[in-house]
Amino acid sequence: MPSLPDGLVVVAKRECPTCTLVEPLLAELTADGTPVTVYVQDDPAFGRGATRVVDDTRLEHSFALDVEIVPTLIRVEDGREVERTYGWHRGDWQRISGRAGLGAALPEVRPGCGSLTLEPGVAETLAVRFGRAKFASRAVEIGAAEDPEEACFARGWSDGLPVIPPTRERVLRMLSGTTRDPGEIIGMVPPDLAPCTVEKVAINAVMAGCKPEYLPVVLAAVEAALIDEFGMHGILCTTMFCGPLVVVNGPIAQAIGMNSGVNALGQGNRANATIGRALQLVIRNVGGGRPGEVDRSALGTPGKYTFCFAEAEHPQWNPLSVERGFARGTNTVTLFAGEGVQGIVDQKSRTPESLARTFALCMRAVDHPKLAMAGDALLVVSPEHSRVFFDAGWSKARLLEELTALLQLPGDEMVVGAGGIAEGLPLSMKGTRVPKFRPGGIQIVRAGGSAGLFSAVIAGWAASGPVGSTPVTKEITT
C-alpha cells in the first residue's frame, strides 16, 4: 500500500445511492486546488470531477484503509490520515473539506452503504491476497490442472471420504471461531508425538467440513484426546475396535446445532459428523495414525470415521458433565474409547426394576459374556426409556447403583471352560461373584428420538481403566 495522497480521499462505489448523491460535489471540492483522489470499488467511470480516480476493483486500497462504509471521506496531510467520516453528513463533510457551503442543496444526512470489502467471504480473500493473513503451516501449491479434492486424496490427507481442500481463506475463516492464538501448541499428537497447533487443528477442521463455530469443540476434543489417561496412542494402535467417541454437554450443543435427538448416533447432522471427523483427521494427519501402519485394528468400526453426539439433557437427570464433576450448564466434551452401537430392545418393561435388568443383561455382552473388568460401557438411554426412570423417581446415580448391583455376576458361569467355551475368567474366580465392570466403568447418557423403547450400549476398549483408556472430560472454552 503506497502512502496516501495528500488532500482529500473518497472511497466509493457506483452501486451506492449515497455515493452517486455526493459525486457532483467532487468538482466543487477541487475548486480551491485541493487534490481529490477517488478510490472506486466497482466502476472506474465513477468520480467525474475528481483530480484522480483510482480503479480499486481489487479492493486493495479499500482494504488497507479498513473502509467499512462508502462513501468514506478522509483528509490526508503529509501522507497521513488526519480525519475521516462516512456516509453523507453535511456538517462533517463541510468541516473535513473546509468548504462551508458544501452540499447545501443536499439533505443533511444520508447513511452510506456497506463497503465491498465486507461482502460475505471477501474479507478472508483480501487478507490472504494482500498479505495480512500469516500462516505457520507449509503452503502446498497444487498443479493448475489438478482437482483440489483429488489432490487431498493423492497426498494421503483423507480418511477415505472427500475432504474440503484447506485453502488459506477457509483456514482463516475457521480460525475466526476461536480467540486462541493460531500458534499455540495444544499438545503432542500420537503416534508420532508431533506438536499440534491451533492452526493445524483449524486446517483439519476445514477438511472435515466444520463451521468456524465448531472449532472450540474440536479444540477441546483434541485436547481431551491428548490427556494421558485417555491413552490415545493405545486406542489408535490396538488390534481391537475402538476409536475416540465424543459426547458434548452444555448449551453449546444446541447453539451450534448438534443433534441429541432423532438418529443422534447416526448420520445427517453437520456438527455431529464433522466434529468427530475433525478429531480423527488430526490423529491421522498431525499424529500420523493411519490404518495398516500404527493403527493395527483387526476390524475397526464405522465410528472411526466420526463418532460424536450431544446428550439430550433433562432436568430430572444429571448430565454426564455433572456426573463427571462439572457445574450444570458448563460446556464440555467427554471422550470415551468406544466400539460399536449395540441396540437394546425392550418394549415391555414399565418399571425401573425390569428395565434395569434388561440393561444389565445386555451389558454383559461387552467384550464377551464370560469376560469381566475389561471394557467399560457407555449406556445411551433413549427418552422413552428414561421416562420409566423419571416416573419412578430414579436418578441417573440410582440407575448406576442398581446396574452395578445387577452386574455382580456368578463366576461359575464365566470361568474358562464353563458352558463348553474355552474363553473366560481364570478358574480361581469359580464360586465368587464377579463385577462385570471396573469401578467407574459405566457411563450413562440420555439421547435419541422421542419415539422408540430402545436404548444402546456402546462397549469400551477391552483395555479400559488405568491399563489403557479412562474416559476424560474437558471444558470447552472460546
Partner 1 sequence: MNGPTVLLDPTAELAPVARALSARPPSLDGKRVGILDISKARGNVFLDRVDELLAGRGITVMRYRKPTFTRPAPAVLVQQIAAEVDLVVEGLAD
Of the pair 31, 140, the CB lying nearest partner 1 is at 140
Cell, residue 319: 448430565
Stretch that binds partner 1, among 52-60, 199-207, 303-311, 383-391 (CB under 8 A): 199-207
Q: Of these, 21, 194, 361, 373, which contacts partner 1 (CB under 8 A)?
A: 194
Contact status: 204 vs partner 1 (CB under 8 A):
yes
Of the pair 204, 332, the CB lying nearest partner 1 is at 204
Contact status: 148 vs partner 1 (CB under 8 A):
yes
* Residue 452 dihedral angles phi and psi, to the nearest 5°: 130, 115
Contact status: 178 vs partner 1 (CB under 8 A):
no
Count residues near partner 1 (CB under 8 A): 35
Contact status: 162 vs partner 1 (CB under 8 A):
no
Looking only at the bridges linking them, the beta strands covering 442-446 and 243-249 are unpaired
The answer to whether 421 and 370 have CB atoms below 8 angstroms apart is yes
Q: Of these, 20, 167, 358, 408, which contacts partner 1 (CB under 8 A)?
A: 167
The answer to whether 72 and 10 have CB atoms below 8 angstroms apart is yes
Contact status: 283 vs partner 1 (CB under 8 A):
no
Of the pair 164, 227, the CB lying nearest partner 1 is at 164
Amino acid at 163: V
Contact status: 286 vs partner 1 (CB under 8 A):
yes
Instruction: For the CB of residue 127, give the shortest distance to partner 1 in the complex, in Å.
Output: 14
Instruction: For the CB of residue 169, give the shortest distance to partner 1 in the complex, in Å.
Output: 10
Of the pair 34, 137, the CB lying nearest partner 1 is at 137
Of the pair 85, 178, the CB lying nearest partner 1 is at 178
Element (H, E) at 284: helix 270-285
Contact status: 135 vs partner 1 (CB under 8 A):
yes
Q: How far apart are CA 185 and CA 224, in angstroms?
A: 14
Q: How far apart are CA 20 and CA 12, in angstroms?
A: 9
Looking only at the bridges linking them, the beta strands covering 80-86 and 72-77 are antiparallel
Q: Of these, 207, 247, 273, 425, which contacts partner 1 (CB under 8 A)?
A: 207
Binding mask 424-443 for partner 1 (x = CB under 8 A): --------------------
Contact status: 146 vs partner 1 (CB under 8 A):
yes
Contact status: 200 vs partner 1 (CB under 8 A):
yes
Q: How far apart are CA 66 and CA 59, in angstroms?
A: 10
Cell, residue 392: 419412578
Contact status: 127 vs partner 1 (CB under 8 A):
no
In the three-class reduction of DSSP (H, G, I as helix; E, B as strand; rest coil), residue 458 is classed as strand
The answer to whether 326 and 475 have CB atoms below 8 angstroms apart is yes
In the three-class reduction of DSSP (H, G, I as helix; E, B as strand; rest coil), residue 221 is classed as helix
User: Which residue bears the cell 475397526?
Assistant: 300
Cell, residue 387: 421416562
Q: Of these, 142, 237, 361, 365, which contacts partner 1 (CB under 8 A)?
A: 142
Of the pair 186, 265, the CB lying nearest partner 1 is at 186
Q: Of these, 75, 168, 233, 370, which contacts partner 1 (CB under 8 A)?
A: 168
β partners of residue 249: 332
Cα separations (Å) of 472 from 315, 325, 330, 369, 466? Answer: 23, 11, 15, 26, 12
Q: How far apart are CA 187 and CA 194, in angstroms?
A: 8
- Interacting residues with partner 1 (CB under 8 A): 135, 137-142, 144, 146, 148, 151-152, 154-155, 157, 165-168, 171, 189, 192, 194-196, 199-200, 203-204, 207, 281, 285-288
